[in-house]
Amino acid sequence: MPMPSAVDLAAHPLTIWQGPLGLPDFTRIGDGDFSGVFDAALKAHEAEIEAISGNAEAPTVENTLAALELGGEALDHVSSIFWCRAGAHTNEAIQALERDISPKMSRHFSAISMNERLFARINDLYQRRETLKLDAETLRVLEKTWKGFVRSGAKLDADGKKRLAAINEELSSLGTRFGQNLLADERDWALFLDEADLVGLPEFLKSAMAEAAEMRGQKGRYAVTLSRSIYEPFSTFSERRDLREIAFRAFTMRGQNGGATDNTAVVRDMLRLRAEKAKLLGYASFAALKLDDTMAKTPEAVHMLLDPVWEKALEKAASDQAELQRLAVEAGSNEKFAAWDWRFYQEKLRAEKFAFDEAELKPYLQLDRIIDACFDVATRLFGITFEEKKGIATWHPDARVFVVRNADGSERGLFLADYFARPSKRSGAWMSALKSGYKLGHGSKPVIYNIMNFAKPPEGKAALLSVDEAKTLFHEFGHALHGMLTDVTWPSVSGTSVSRDFVELPSQLYEHWLTVPAVLEKHALHVKTGKPMPKALVDKMLAARTFGVGFATVEFTASALVDMAYHARPDAPEEPLRFEAETLERLNMPGTIAMRHRTPHFGHIFAGDGYSAGYYSYMWSEVLDADAFAAFEETGDPFNPALAERLRKNIYAAGGSKDPEELYTAFRGKMPSPEAMMVKRGLV
């Protein structure tokens, strides 16, 4: 591995991207390249920060704020490739590097945020901001930058800065460990079955399980894995209650199996350090610290949203469970109704109430056609088009590359997508960027990617999605559009660089277009006949949209409430799992429903800082998305051109250039109440 001094950042394929379409040349990047390039890029960025902070000239927007925003390009480039690999296609070498690089990066950025000379220059501009005649976006960037420095310890004394840097470094290492432990539990567990064990399973699931078994060296058998794309349909369709129980227990015990991959101590230490960090920075709790820069602002405001929803969800789940238990008794079950029975009997109830089951929809939801639907909706709303480019090397052969063009044919950026589950990929679905789009300096075109975990079909067969998976595809593509349509000057407010409880609006809103009848008619075509989904089946699917809402809302809201309970207290619980149990008991959590994300595998809040004290934000944004789509429904045209242009300008293109309430009001004319969301969910 080369020494840092031997790395030429001006020529290395990790930092100078000279592959096809301006992408990195992935064919020239090896696992052994990252360490040396990271070290060299960190040193280069340190030199840039020193030049800014040591500048003898008086601070200006150009020599301080813009220089800070545009600095560290080599570090940005190597980081974006590395973190993509760490999530989407990891191995032991990448994981070892992740454990090394995470604390290094934390140290590096702590040093920048606590650099007294640099903060003095930012502070000088901030104190003079009213006299600098700044445009609104630049003023917002200056204010956010100043607040970011203060929230990162710029005003602490020397001892406080030292302690905060140590806390941040340790939290970074613990977050990496949490994620790697979870990946190991998910990767290493599989329940191998034979043909006789597959009673009740539809063909699409058998194919996915056969592929998963072959991938794990058990050709000819079938594997239940802990990927949601297999676990959830198995729990839904398997007639074998004993196997459903085994799968349920494995799924809910991820990260809590003892030994080297157990996350119990990791969570305890993270909560303790977060509470200490908040106290050090003068906040009553870690939730108060995290919510300070959001739409909600306080834990109390979060509870004003979550608590009424929780009560309604409990009522709905209780009435649903009574019906499910009736079905179980009618089917001859003498067992006590349990959590591994819920999905199974819920599907039976759906068939009884709406005369269809999920398996009937699958043949109409081909992955490639749902991708086309995503693109088609974007074209109709925003005028952009997508052209796939084959044969371009990326981080994995499954990843696909699309050129994104504006309505006039000019290139807007690139979109990459990696759709299939594999053992080297962490679970879930997400959007990120290899490059953000902005106009400052020489400017940058966005290079955005989506990662999914759909079950890979056998060679020559089409991948089929459930309705939930199709919604996930639209959801993450909504995030991607937020990155691709960005039209701002400053990098730090580009794309998804918005408050956590606003960032889910563009993604959740986009989900609504999946079930627009014109979209289904064009793209939901049967895998064998090519015929569109019959109107009768579409009507049943739409009628059943709020079916199962009690279960779904309880499992989500329980996770959001536990997240807030952990982080809104001034200290940290000594035994987090006992605290989880006590919190759920206090909330009257049904024993027949599990949290969507139990503590030991709650990657949103523990595999890094992302959604800590912020899991509620999906529901906060749902209040906005229900109201926003209602705006289109009120016009009678889901593609209303004038409304679509307001949506593009104020939501998808604006990034964090203005306050989110200002942006939403510019689109809709007013802020919504939670009622539209409650109605949409079928809770009132």
3-state DSSP assignment of residue 402: strand
Exposed e or buried b for every residue in 612-645, given b needs 16+ CB within 10 A?
bbbbbbbbbbbbbbbbbbebbeeeeebbbeebbe
Amino acid identity of 21? L
Do residues 680 and 629 make contact, with C-beta atoms less than 8 angstroms apart? no
Q: Which of 86, 258, 249, 251 shows the shortest CA–CA distance to 180?
A: 86
- Distance CA(667)–CA(539), nearest Å, equals 30
Q: Is 8 exposed, middle or buried, given 0-12, 13-18 or 19+ CB atoms closer than 10 A? A: exposed
- Distance CA(109)–CA(233), nearest Å, equals 43
Q: Enumerate the H helices of 450-548 as residue ranges.
A: 467-484, 505-511, 517-523, 535-543
Cα separation of the two ends of the chain? 62
- Distance CA(195)–CA(214), nearest Å, equals 14
Do residues 226 and 427 make contact, with C-beta atoms less than 8 angstroms apart? yes
Catalytically active residues are: 476
Q: Is 242 exposed, middle or buried, given 0-12, 13-18 or 19+ CB atoms closer than 10 A? A: exposed
- Distance CA(341)–CA(247), nearest Å, equals 12
Q: Count H helices and E strands in the chain, helices first.
A: 27, 7
Residues 6+ apart with CB under 8 A from 364: 524, 525, 526, 527, 532, 533, 537
Tell the residue number behind the tokens 């809590």, with chain if given. Answer: 256
Do residues 586 and 612 make contact, with C-beta atoms less than 8 angstroms apart? no
- Distance CA(90)–CA(74), nearest Å, equals 22
